Amino acid sequence: AQTVTQSQPEMSVQEAETVTLSCTYDTSENNYYLFWYKQPPSRQMILVIRQEAYKQQNATENRFSVNFQKAAKSFSLKISDSQLGDTAMYFCAFMKLIQGAQKLVFGQGTRLTINP
């Protein structure tokens, strides 16, 4: 069974600092997608960044970047120049096909607090 593990339940950094959130996953598949989602108090899941497993280049989106290590099944998220608005729950997710549907398997989440 595919699983996603986020080993850091909570993290806290000062504004403008860089922070890295960890994620490991377990799968026997070779082609898949990995995601980081942000869930602020508004509850809506917001896509932060996506990585296709067949791409060796790490994805980047402005201040957000990933370190994708396929052999180690590791997918960490780095947030540079952190801002107060980055405060939220962050979920790592793996996408798999189940009976033709695309299912997201989420980790337990990391609560990130950016302090002024």
Partner 1 sequence: ETGVTQSPTHLIKTRGQQVTLRCSSQSGHNTVSWYQQALGQGPQFIFQYYREEENGRGNFPPRFSGLQFPNYSSELNVNALELDDSALYLCASRTGGRYGYTFGSGTRLTVV
Residues within the interface to partner 1 (CB under 8 A): 4, 33, 37, 42-47, 50, 91, 93, 95, 98-109
CB of 34 to partner 1, least distance (A): 10
CB of 32 to partner 1, least distance (A): 10
The C-alpha atoms of residue 4 and residue 91 are separated, in whole angstroms, by 10
* CB of 9 or CB of 116, closer to partner 1: 9
CB of 84 to partner 1, least distance (A): 21
* CB of 14 or CB of 60, closer to partner 1: 60
* CB of 40 or CB of 69, closer to partner 1: 40
* CB of 13 or CB of 95, closer to partner 1: 95
CB 104 within 8 A of CB 32: no
CB of 16 to partner 1, least distance (A): 29
The C-alpha atoms of residue 89 and residue 76 are separated, in whole angstroms, by 15
